[in-house]
């Protein structure tokens, strides 16, 4: 099988640019940076012998729809017998996309070699290849039924009214084999819905789709070349963005102008022109946690935190005749970001949200450093009651005899019972928010109810806003990002396939920490005050990062 090279064919296609001028596609055009990355991924997947499956989250007017129309058009000639379908959110969008393809056909240098058997406002067919290209609106309910498709472009999927109903039947019309293409692309439309769910699955590696994100600031045209903006005139947020993403004053000036055109709505700009894929979903208005603060508190492996590169080891914690050993294994359920402090200066919290069954929602164990408020380990998966209790106890002993806590709702009471039977000595006792926190209850474990859940979630919001909670785990971050107000009162995952076990376990860990006696700072640092971030004292001197 010879390798597919698309650009020699793409350069024969004519498009109309933003200035209404006709020109051919070109990989050398500075405007084509996103198109080049897109075509590279298409070629890679095809040349690997895979069906092409790509989901694209993008800013406005980066040329992804144009290059995808060209791709599906060429597919009709490169692979005879292909049926290509383009779908947009409404009839107007579909007609605009078809106009691009019609122009490519009308001005194609090889047009004279082929005969159209059908040419209408929505369809092109050719006698020599037996291929056809058509467009439809996502408003239809029977699209794709009764036909086999080889190439599909679903445009602005996040804005389809019925994507959850339409896409499954559409996907059934596409064979899962080499030579087929499915491209899902859209700007963001808030948290939740089909496109958001599929994007998150792709990001987590739980999908056949490869996720491609294209930030606005990489686009050649999105800047004011002769701006009068100075560094002194920049806001703190603009200065932070300039440092974080390498933005120039011309780009910041362009951003300011676009926000003015959007009536000063910065959230709308973030949705239409995101810097990161997380920011693209920021403007829903229903997120429980402040997303900008959450993003600041998220430091995944590879990022630097207080002078050290965040590491991560994955594997299993083994109890070998009373000796606890961490065994590295990429398939393991335990992620370790920081090993236990070998000097035993630091105290930890181990908190769990248990699953009701071994086949339902997964359970999660979060380990939090009580002094630095840093997530140091996460266990995630399915376990029986006995096995979960053993895992909690093992993590508790390993992390310097940590205080452990378990949500007692559902199967949690059974886990507490096993921990008591195992004689684990440091189990958290119940406190109430309307009583002195030093007054212990008579029962073990955390109960999530109408009184305690707002208390716990409110504390998480507070610590995030103060940038006092450090998160390293991607699943925890993703679940927190899509944790929303579902009906104005109840809170939960916006995604139909989402879970909140990492959120609940982290909430319990946080509440365990703030209701326990404060860590002894003098014992840890030699004085009564936690050192300032970046001071070179305390955390930055630790040498027990987990690294693969």
CATH of domain 304-541: 3.30.420.240
pLDDT at 366 over 60: yes
How many of the other CB atoms lie within 10 Å of CB of 174? 20
7-214 and 304-541 in the same fold: no
Task: Decide if 398 contacts 323 (C-beta within 8 A).
Answer: no
Q: What angle do CA 276, 494, 331 make, to 5 degrees?
A: 70
Contacts for 90 with CB less than 8 Å, ≥ 6 apart: 137, 138, 139
Please state the rounded mean pLDDT for residues 210-225: 92
In the structure, what pLDDT confidence band is assigned to residue 189 with cuts at 50, 70 and 90? confident
**Average pLDDT for 383-405:** 94
pLDDT (mean) for 306-313: 89
- pLDDT, residue 527, reads 53
Q: Which pLDDT band, with edges at 50, 70 and 90, does 356 fall under?
A: low
Banded model confidence at residue 143, pLDDT cuts 50, 70, 90: low
pLDDT tens digits for 463-519?
999 999 999 999 999 889 888 887 666 787 776 666 889 999 999 999 999 888 766
State yes or no: pLDDT of 5 exceeds 90. yes
Query: Which pLDDT band holds residue 537 (cuts at 50, 70, 90)?
Result: very low
Between residues 395 and 285, which one has the greater pLDDT? Answer: 395
Percentage of residues of the chain with pLDDT beyond 70:
88
Q: Which fold is adopted by the domain 7-214?
A: Rossmann fold (3.40.50)
Res 74: pLDDT: 95
d(CA 36, CA 537): 46
Q: pTM higher than 0.95 for the full model?
A: no
Q: Find the mean pLDDT for residues 308-331.
A: 90
- Specify the pairing of strand 304-305 against strand 116-119: unpaired
Distance of alpha carbon 269 from alpha carbon 271, whole angstroms: 5
Residue 31 pLDDT class (50, 70, 90 cuts): confident
Burial 265-289 (b: 16+ CB within 10 A, else e): eebebbbbbbbebbbbbbbbeebbb
Domain residue ranges of the chain, discontinuous segments joined by +: 7-214, 231-285, 304-541
What is the residue-averaged pLDDT of the chain? 86
The residues, ordered by sequence, that sit 6+ positions from 177 with a Cβ below 8 Å of its Cβ are: 51
Extract the tokens encoding 512.
């365990």
Residue 530 has pLDDT above 60, yes or no: no
The DSSP H or E segment spanning 360 is none
* Most confident segment among 57-61, 375-379, 485-489: 375-379
């Amino acid at each position: 099988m010879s390798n597919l090279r698309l650009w020699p064919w793409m350069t024969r296609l004519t498009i109309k640019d933003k200035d209404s001028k006709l020109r051919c596609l070109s990989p050398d055009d500075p405007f084509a940076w996103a198109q080049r990355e897109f075509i590279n991924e298409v070629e890679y997947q095809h040349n690997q012998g895979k069906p092409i499956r790509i989901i694209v989250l993008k800013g406005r007017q980066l040329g992804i729809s144009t290059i995808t129309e060209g791709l599906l058009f060429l597919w009709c000639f490169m692979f005879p017998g292909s049926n290509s379908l383009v779908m947009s959110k409404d009839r107007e969008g579909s007609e605009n996309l078809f106009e691009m393809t019609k122009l490519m056909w009308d001005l194609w240098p090889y047009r004279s070699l082929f005969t159209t058997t059908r040419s209408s406002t929505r369809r092109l067919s050719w006698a020599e290849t037996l291929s056809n290209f058509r467009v439809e609106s996502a408003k239809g309910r029977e699209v794709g039924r009764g036909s086999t498709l080889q190439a599909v472009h679903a445009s602005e999927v996040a804005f389809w009214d019925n994507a959850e109903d339409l896409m499954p039947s559409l996907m059934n019309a596409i064979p899962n084999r080499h030579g087929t293409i499915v491209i899902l692309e859209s700007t963001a439309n808030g948290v939740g819905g089909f496109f958001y769910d599929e994007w998150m699955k792709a990001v987590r590696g739980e999908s056949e789709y490869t996720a491609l994100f294209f930030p606005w600031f990489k686009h050649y045209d999105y800047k004011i070349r002769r701006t009068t903006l100075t560094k002194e005139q920049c806001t703190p947020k603009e200065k932070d963005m300039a440092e974080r993403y390498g933005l120039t004053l011309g780009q910041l000036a362009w951003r300011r102008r676009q926000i003015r055109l959007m009536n000063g709505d910065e959230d709308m700009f973030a949705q239409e022109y995101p810097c990161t894929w997380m920011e693209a979903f920021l403007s829903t208005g229903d997120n429980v946690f402040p997303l900008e603060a959450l993003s600041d508190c998220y430091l995944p492996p590879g990022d630097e935190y207080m002078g050290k590169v965040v590491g991560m080891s994955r594997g299993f914690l083994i109890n070998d005749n009373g000796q606890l050993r961490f065994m590295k294994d990429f398939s393991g359920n335990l992620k370790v970001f920081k090993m236990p402090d070998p000097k035993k200066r630091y105290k930890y919290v181990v908190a769990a949200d248990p699953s009701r069954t071994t086949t339902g929602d997964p359970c999660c164990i979060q380990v939090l450093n009580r002094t630095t408020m840093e997530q140091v380990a996460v266990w995630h998966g399915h376990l029986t009651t006995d096995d979960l209790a053993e895992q909690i106890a093992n993590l508790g002993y390993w992390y310097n005899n940590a205080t452990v806590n378990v949500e007692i709702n559902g199967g949690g009471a059974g886990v507490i019972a096993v921990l008591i039977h195992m004689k684990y000595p440091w189990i958290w006792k119940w406190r109430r928010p309307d009583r002195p926190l030093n007054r212990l209850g008579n029962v073990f474990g955390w109960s999530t109810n109408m009184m305690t859940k707002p208390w716990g979630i409110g504390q998480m919001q507070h610590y995030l806003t103060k940038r006092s909670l450090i998160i390293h785990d991607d699943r925890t971050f993703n679940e927190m990002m899509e944790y929303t107000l579902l009906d104005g009162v109840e809170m939960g995952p916006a995604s139909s396939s989402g879970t909140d076990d990492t959120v609940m376990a982290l909430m319990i860990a946080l509440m365990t920490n703030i209701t326990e006696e404060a860590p002894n700072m003098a014992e840890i640092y030699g004085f009564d005050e936690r050192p300032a971030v970046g001071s070179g004292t305390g955390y930055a001197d630790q040498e027990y990062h987990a690294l693969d």
